[in-house]
A = this chain, B = another copy of it.
Amino acid sequence: MSCYTYGQSHRSEALKLIKLLLFITIIFNAKACMAQDDDLSNLLNPLASWRNGPAKKSILKFVFAATDKTSPGYIPSEQRIAVFDQDGTLWVEQPVYTQVMFAFDRIVSMADQHPDWKHTQPFQAIIERDKVRMAGFTSLELAQINRVTQIGMKVGEYKKAVQDWLAKARHPRWNRPYTDLVYQPMLEVLSLLRAKGFKTYIVTGSNQDFVRAYSQQVYGIPPEQVIGSALSLAYIFDPTVKGIFYRRAPLLINNNSGKPEDIYLFIGRAPKAAFGNSTGDKQMLEYTQQEGKGSLMMLIHHDDALREYHYSAKSRIGTFSDALMAEAKDSGWMVVSMKNDWKTMFPFSKPPGVLVG
């Protein structure tokens, strides 16, 4: 269905005027409204926390091509989908995933109702704070620990438990809330992509409802744009019990091949940009590259022991194998050096700027 030229030319004049006024409105508010400062300075000086280099350049090149109708890299607005792994890509995942930290504390607080845990592993180790045993938990044990803190709970109660915990818990190294430990350069990528019409999604191996409890506040991402691992749900509507509860059976295991599968399940099409940091993100990046010419694939490389962590190929959390590095090189994925590409690590370590108070 098309418009007559008559209507279009009038509209286009009026639209220009509206855009101008909108710009003036933004400028008027720039100094008065702190909340808008970050978005504005990110538009005026995009990716300010990134050092000039191939990584920053590739993001800017991708974004500007995506929004330029004359470019071969142009992406129609309804296809502007960008996906981000969370742990190790948007925030710190060491010494262990934040969701696991939550589960450890939750097991301790649930111990009174489960006297058998005092002599049943893996719970006994957590209750006794047996750090050697805890550091050696298998992934099956970690999955069991995570599930136990959810099964049978009402979804809203779980959300509240996560939010209450986040308000009090502190990261052992920085002694700050875990939600402070987000990477400032990645917040700028999220904000830039959204300003250019991208829908930004988190695609996480962590429990989907754990991340949804804070995603809007921390990343500006609403719950429906968080895809993660999930237990089956049970809707109950009895005279005495009403609501949605977590069942025992896992429904989604959102890691490795699960990432592209769940992206298709939730979104129904492939992303045009994908950001990850570990072997669990490999398939998501492959899928993004396979489905769209000119898409952007990026791996965050943890090589900054001073400001964050320096991973080795043997790291249990955030596995970054030599094979993955080789695939990145062969496939033309951009590898981001946190040490060299990022001027600033966290929002709280941001240097004071002209507009940023």
User: Chain B residues with Cβ under 8 A from A235's Cβ?
Assistant: 257, 260-261, 283, 287
User: Chain B residues with Cβ under 8 A from A17's Cβ?
Assistant: 21
Known A209-B268, A266-B266, A290-B243; contact A6-B18, beta-carbon cutoff 8 A: no
Shortest distance between the CB of A228 and any CB in chain B (Å): 10
Shortest distance between the CB of A209 and any CB in chain B (Å): 7
A78 and chain B: residue at smallest CB distance: B222
Shortest distance between the CB of A269 and any CB in chain B (Å): 6
A216 and chain B: residue at smallest CB distance: B78
Does the CB pair A3–B257 fall under 8 Å? Answer: no
User: What separation, in Å, do the CA atoms of A233 and B257 have in the docked complex?
Assistant: 10
Shortest distance between the CB of A7 and any CB in chain B (Å): 3
Shortest distance between the CB of A22 and any CB in chain B (Å): 6
Q: Is the interface of A mostly helix, strand, loop or mixed?
A: helix
Q: Is A132 an interface residue (CB 8 A)?
A: no
Does the CB pair B32–A6 fall under 8 Å? Answer: yes
Does the CB pair B237–A283 fall under 8 Å? Answer: yes
Chain A interface residue count: which class? 35 or more
Shortest distance between the CB of A79 and any CB in chain B (Å): 10
Proximity string of chain A (328-352) to chain B, C-beta cutoff 8 Å, 1 when within and 0 when not: 0000000000000000000000000
Does the CB pair A14–B3 fall under 8 Å? Answer: no
Does the CB pair A290–B237 fall under 8 Å? Answer: yes
User: What separation, in Å, do the CA atoms of A280 and B190 have in the docked complex?
Assistant: 39
Q: Is A226 an interface residue (CB 8 A)?
A: yes
Q: Is A96 an interface residue (CB 8 A)?
A: no
**A-B contact sample (4 more), CB < 8 A, given A4-B33, A224-B266:** A2-B35, A3-B35, A155-B264, A237-B286
User: What separation, in Å, do the CA atoms of A42 and B5 have in the docked complex?
Assistant: 24
Does the CB pair B18–A32 fall under 8 Å? Answer: no
Shortest distance between the CB of A85 and any CB in chain B (Å): 16
Within 8 A of B (CB), among A199-239: 199, 208-209, 212, 216, 222-224, 226, 230, 232-235, 237
User: What separation, in Å, do the CA atoms of A18 and B290 have in the docked complex?
Assistant: 42
Of A23-31, A58-66, A98-106, A314-322, the one with at least 4 CB within 8 A of chain B: A23-31
Within 8 A of B (CB), among A240-257: 242-244, 251, 257
User: What separation, in Å, do the CA atoms of A328 and B137 have in the docked complex?
Assistant: 52
Q: Is A326 an interface residue (CB 8 A)?
A: no
- Some 6 contacts from A to B, beta carbons below 8 A apart, are A2-B33, A3-B35, A14-B24, A209-B268, A234-B261, A244-B260
Shortest distance between the CB of A1 and any CB in chain B (Å): 4
The residue that A264 contacts in the complex, of B28, B226, B244, with Cβ under 8 A, is B244
Q: Is A131 an interface residue (CB 8 A)?
A: no
